[in-house]
Amino acid sequence: MKQPSFTIGIEEEYQTVDPVTRDLRSHIATEMLAQGKLRLEERVKAEMHQSVVEVGTRICRTVKEARLDLFDLRRQMIYLAREHNLLLVAGATHPFADWRTQEIHPDPRYAQVVEDLQLVARANLIFGLHVHVGVEDRETAIRLMNSMRYFLPHILALSTNSPFWRGMKTGLKSYRAKVFDKFPRTNIPDSFSSYAEFEGFVNLLIKTKCLDNGKRIWWDIRPHPFFNTVEVRICDLPMRAEETLAIAALIQATAAKLFRLHERNQDFRQYSRALIMENKWRAVRYGLDGKLIDFGKETEVDERELILEYLELVEEVVDELDCRDEINYIRTILEMGTGADRQLRKFEETGDLRAVVDYMAEETQIGLFQPSSL
């Protein structure tokens, strides 16, 4: 079994916000996007709603390389937003925007999604983080996907950043996850015995007109249909770029550690989708403040304790991947709380969701600029 490259690519989806009303604003975003494409080419693209702008790093060999690209993309998009009198905000839902007032990007692909999914598509006003890890061999990609499923709730808990929806406290740390799971072909996938079995599944759906290609499989993790990557899609978009890099490093290290186990003819124990979905719900509801189930011990364990165990598990590959600084930032997230925790604290302090949006905009810029250029 040839070792994968474990290259990394990061995609972030940002909000374009009116600096006066603090609501999402979409009618200027199309013009902003056109200018973004001139400057950043294929690293920036539209999403279904016009108030969503997606950026993607180049294929990077290490997370350190991805850092340079991601910071540059965030800076460029912040500048571009300012030029159009907009704020760029990183958060997985907007605290009070109403999806019913948001315009759909004029593109035949999105028109088809809306035609197929109707209100489910129109209401999907959410912002995610997707991380691609280079795994060239397709059989290896399936094996890694099967094993990585177990860790997805832990990764989601670290990224939770959507506690509000349409002006309400949802009581969930990742309301984005519940908005998105109204789509078909979402959530944790089943395990597959081989790439041929997975390919047969996709081809059957295409043949029976469920979908036109594998990109319409929106699972929390998938072998990408066109790139030689395993794509992790479960995450809320974090506020800080450092949080994104920490989570991306953890995903990359997880893939590398599990491959190391496969090489030794060891394997991480497989658990059913139904069991992993129990942990996903707990991550959605409580984030880092809850307990996940340790299925091996058949007991609940504090999520923060599990994250520390998780860091020990990947320890042996961290230096080889040159991502120790980024992995160490996971401990900072455990201390300061996720974006959802911090949004809720700001709301408790101010009682004002517009103040929460301002805070999110500030956090989006943390670490990107020298103080004088803010």
Give this prediction's pTM.
Answer: 0.93
Sign for the pseudo-dihedral over CA of 106, 13, 59, 41: positive
Strands, E, within the chain: which ranges?
A: 8-17, 44-46, 52-56, 87-89, 128-134, 164-165, 168-169, 221-223, 229-236, 291-294, 299-302
CA gap 59, 65 in Å, rounded: 9
Q: What is the DSSP letter of 84?
A: T
CA gap 112, 17 in Å, rounded: 26
Whole-Å CA distances, 80 to 30, 41, 303: 12, 14, 38
Q: Of 177, 160, 127, 178, give the one whose Cα is nearest residue 15.
A: 127
Question: In this predicted model, what pLDDT tens digit does every residue of 141-178 receive, in sequence order?
Answer: 999 999 999 999 999 999 999 999 999 999 999 999 99
pLDDT attached to residue 374: 39
Counting as low any pLDDT under 70, the low residues of the chain are 1, 27-31, 33, 37-38, 41-42, 45-51, 99, 101-115, 122, 370-374
Residue 187 Cα to chain centre, angstroms: 13
Q: Is 14 helix (H, G, I), strand (E, B) or coil?
A: strand
Written as one string, the DSSP assignment of 305-347 is: HHHHHHHHHHHHHHHHHT-HHHHHHHHHHHHH--HHHHHHHHH
Tell me the HSE value of 247 on the side-chain side, using a 13 A CA sphere. 35
CATH 3.30.590.20 matches 8-373? yes
pLDDT attached to residue 104: 63
303-321 and 273-286 helices, crossing angle to 10°:
100
How many angstroms separate the first and last alpha carbons of the chain? 49
pLDDT attached to residue 51: 66
CA gap 302, 290 in Å, rounded: 6
CA gap 206, 195 in Å, rounded: 16
Q: Do the Cβ atoms of 247 and 159 come closer than 8 Å?
A: yes
Neighbours of 354 (CB within 10 A): 14
Q: Of 211, 251, 246, give the one whose Cα is nearest residue 231.
A: 251
Q: Do the Cβ atoms of 175 and 162 come closer than 8 Å?
A: yes
CA gap 250, 154 in Å, rounded: 10
CA gap 65, 206 in Å, rounded: 37
Q: What angle do CA 273, 245, 303 make, to 5 degrees?
A: 45
> Which tokens sit at 244?
């994104």
Whole-Å CA distances, 31 to 27, 28, 49, 276: 8, 6, 14, 42
Bridge partners of 302, per DSSP, are: 291
Written as one string, the DSSP assignment of 225-241 is: SSSSEEEEEEEEPPSSH
Bridge partners of 223, per DSSP, are: 230
pLDDT attached to residue 268: 80
